[in-house]
Homo-oligomer: A and B are copies of this chain.
Amino acid sequence: MASYEIFELGNVALQKGSTIPNAKLAFKTMGTLNEAKDNVVVCPTWFTGYIDDVPPIFIGKGRAIDPDKHFIVIPALFGMGESSSPSNTPAPQEFVRFPHVTYYDNVSFQHRLLTEKFGITEILLVASWSMGGTQAYQWAAQYPDMVKAIAPVACSAKTAVYNELFLKSIRKAMVSDPAYKGGYYGDVPPLSGMRVMAQIYAGWGMSEEFYRKEVFRAFGHDTLDDFLVDFWEAYFAARDANNLISQIWTWLHGDISAQPAYGGDIAKALAAIKAKAIVLPSATDQYFPPVDSEAEVAAMKNAELRVIPSILGHFAPFNPDDQKFIDDAINDLLNG
């Protein structure tokens, strides 16, 4: 039994062209929408992440985002197998023929869910991590009058060149495996290429200091090789290559200014954000470096930069101490 619901979007026209017939937005809610409908928090999913991966990182009784207080909506990013994705869409849009979906599309769909299904007109907070955090930026730029606050964690409003290089290398690792078969690998995934991807990811995902201090031991892995195989390779082996590649496309094209209101002017898009923001890069994030967040905060009107003092690199939110740092910031946003 699925642990999430489906919002039927019908036939949706996409920003980059093409239409998905009977498109599906997977989502889950936690807590209760109050009568004033003013206790809404949105926590979108991220690259490789499922809906149920979100609560352990961001949500809990007594935490900053609390189902006893908030009505929490967790919408699934297109492309991971819960919302419409390469893996679950019928021909002629199956696998690699699944169309390109932007952040703009994703947030448009989420907006429809909130307004059409729940009659929500105001969002207290959009908070999430990585591609989920970029959706917080996207929400605030796309619906500036609707979003009161955002907490983008370890992400960016526009995908940087260095990030692009990282993404292209992992995508190339997958599609270069002959077992990928142009996306038609069926039940025999391109495991070899995905294992190369896993090792690339391991280097970018955590920091030099994480490896120097062998912090992987604290996560139950005695050696680097154990960590690479038992954690990283196993993690990606459980994902679908076409789905990952679809999300990588979305990530590569991340740019909150790529919409009619801003015409590609990123400074204009950032300046148009009315939400109060606390932007939370990880000090050691290698593909979303704090320097990029700093520039974004400088271009926003009501934003504060708080660098998470983590050695976990991009994966800071998986560290209890760093999670508390993030929760404190979210508390300040909600109660400040």
Contacts and interface: CB of A to CB of B under 8 A. Distances in A.
A212 B176 contact: no
A36 interface: no
A165 interface: yes
A208 B162 contact: yes
Contacts of A168: 199, 224-225, 228
Contacts of A225: 168
Contact of A228 (B165, B204, B286): B165
Interface residues of A, number: 34
Contact of A208 (B202, B224, B228, B286): B286
Contacts of A69: none
A289 to B, nearest CB: 5
A314 to B, nearest CB: 13
Contacts of A160: 211-212
A34 interface: no
B176 A195 contact: yes
* Most B Cβ at <10 Å: residue of A164, A208, A212: A208
Interface in A42-93: none
A169 B289 contact: no
A214 B212 CA distance: 29
Interface string A172-184: 1100111000000
Contacts of A176: 177, 192-193, 195-196
A166 interface: yes
Given A173-B173, A200-B200, A204-B203, A224 B178 contact: no
A2 interface: no
B165 A224 contact: yes
Given A203-B166, A203-B204, A224 B161 contact: yes
Contacts of A166: 203
Contacts of A169: 196, 199-200, 202-203
16 contacts: A160-B211, A161-B212, A161-B214, A165-B224, A168-B199, A168-B225, A169-B200, A169-B203, A172-B196, A172-B199, A176-B195, A176-B196, A178-B178, A208-B289, A208-B291, A209-B291
